Amino acid sequence: MSPKHAAAVITIAAFACAIPAFADVTINDAWVRGTLAGQKVTSAFMQIASTTDTALIDASSPSAKFIEIHEMTKEGGVMKMKAIDRLPIPGGRAVELTSGGYHMMLFELKAPLNAGEVVPMKLTFEDKSGKRSTVDVNATVRPLTTGAAPPPKH
């Protein structure tokens, strides 16, 4: 290999490393609100961050028949929630799913969810070019009464 050729190869390799093929999505602090016997619906919360612009477009779990992405809106002074098709995740800025804002809802639960159990979830993301990727998350079940506020200090 001539020295000239070697330089060209190195340049191409560096270029390939600088541009990731997919948005790099990180999920933190994923949890699901525990349920009472007979309760068929609950909510899921987490922080979602991505290195590049992407959007959460779907979620599924073996624990629920289907999952919707919801947003809270104020209508006539009353907070209401509605399902949305996609939740934009801007690159470099984490989006927090909380009980007062965006969240996911799990419908037709197969069994009651008790604190400490784990709910596996598969999240589907779609970037601006339409490329889809999935991220597996293990959400921890927290007690039914867990709110948005931090836990009390002991």
Which residues of this chain interact with Cu ion, rule CB under 5 A? 70, 81, 105
Can you list the pairs that 126-131 forms with residues at least 24 positions away whose Cβ atoms lie under 8 Å? 126/54, 126/55, 126/57, 126/86, 127/22, 127/23, 127/52, 127/53, 127/54, 127/55, 128/53, 128/54, 131/22
The nearest distance, CB 82 to Cu ion, in angstroms, is 8
The nearest distance, CB 20 to Cu ion, in angstroms, is 32
CA angle, residues 63, 67, 88, in degrees to nearest 5: 135
- Where helices occur in the chain by DSSP H, the ranges are 3-18
Query: Among residues 52 and 81, whose Cβ is nearest to Cu ion?
Result: 81
Helix (H, G, I), strand (E, B) or coil at 123: strand
Query: Among residues 62 and 100, whose Cβ is nearest to Cu ion?
Result: 100
Kindly tell me the sign of the dihedral angle through the C-alpha atoms of 107, 109, 115, 121: negative
CA distance 19 to 42: 38
The nearest distance, CB 35 to Cu ion, in angstroms, is 14
Query: Among residues 23 and 123, whose Cβ is nearest to Cu ion?
Result: 123
Query: Among residues 52 and 60, whose Cβ is nearest to Cu ion?
Result: 60
The nearest distance, CB 137 to Cu ion, in angstroms, is 18
Question: How many other C-beta atoms lie within 10 A of the C-beta of residue 140?
Answer: 14
Query: Among residues 1 and 79, whose Cβ is nearest to Cu ion?
Result: 79
The nearest distance, CB 67 to Cu ion, in angstroms, is 10
Q: Which residue is nearest to Cu ion (CB)?
A: 70
